[in-house]
Amino acid sequence: MDKVRIIEGCVANLRRDNLDTDTIIRIERLSAIERSQLGQYAFEALRYGKDGEADPSFPYNQPMFAQAPILMAGKNFGCGSSREGAVWSLVSLGVRCIIAPSFGEIFHNNCFQNGVLPIVLPEGTITSIDLQTSQGHALTVNLETQQILLPDGHAIGFEIDARRRDALLEGRDDIEQTLTQDAEICAWQAQDRQARPWVWLHIANN
């Protein structure tokens, strides 16, 4: 997983409440398309009309925002089913940070497992960011300082769990984070084998 430290670029505005994972990526795409290619199908129902033509009003169809690494979303973004492929498709699209008033719980966790920084901010604050970035002006998100630098030079702070922050800074998902404690885990297992040998009998016999 890539490390996340500073994310800089323009902001795609998709402030629609309750935009679920089914809308982010259709389930049938996950079984037929390589993970690295899912970005072209992200938000498919919103990006393209019934005739397959790109909707010019959709931000990622506009040249100014086509490569936007920061996505500004509405309330409860990523609600619905638990498919991790929703985050995969956004990563493939180039998204590295999502700013929203709230997220679907499982989607929020999946972001951290795939190197995407989800930031929760009040709607009023998000609106003020939108006013400064709607014409393509760049935003800088600094995870180390936990600040968002606006085009006018002002900074907005954001909160993030310290453990999650460190994992993103080091580029580690939950499994890799657990493996950093391998020595402690092995030491505990050795101690427990001595204290409760009967618990480990089935492991020794396999």
Q: Give the pLDDT score at 205.
A: 54
Find all residues with CB under 8 Å of 183, minimum gap 6, and list them: none
User: Under DSSP, is residue 162 helix (H, G, I), strand (E, B) or coil?
Assistant: helix
The arrangement of strands across the sheet holding 155-157 comes to 6-9, 139-142, 147-149, 155-157
Cα 121 to Cα 110: distance, rounded to the nearest angstrom? 19
Domains, the chain, ordered by start:
6-172 (3.20.19.10), 173-206 (no CATH)
- Token pair, residue 73, equals 């979303």
Whether 58 contacts 4, CB under 8 Å: no
Q: Give the pLDDT score at 176.
A: 62
Rounded average pLDDT over 147-157: 97
Q: Give the pLDDT score at 17.
A: 98
What percent of the chain stands above pLDDT 90?
77
Name the pTM for this structure: 0.86
* Interval 174-198: pLDDT, tens: 666 665 666 777 777 878 888 888 8
Q: What is the mean pLDDT of the chain?
A: 92
Least confident of 19-23, 123-127, 194-198: 194-198
- Nearest in space to 99 (alpha carbons), one of 78, 66, 71: 71
Rg (alpha carbons) of the chain, rounded to whole number: 20
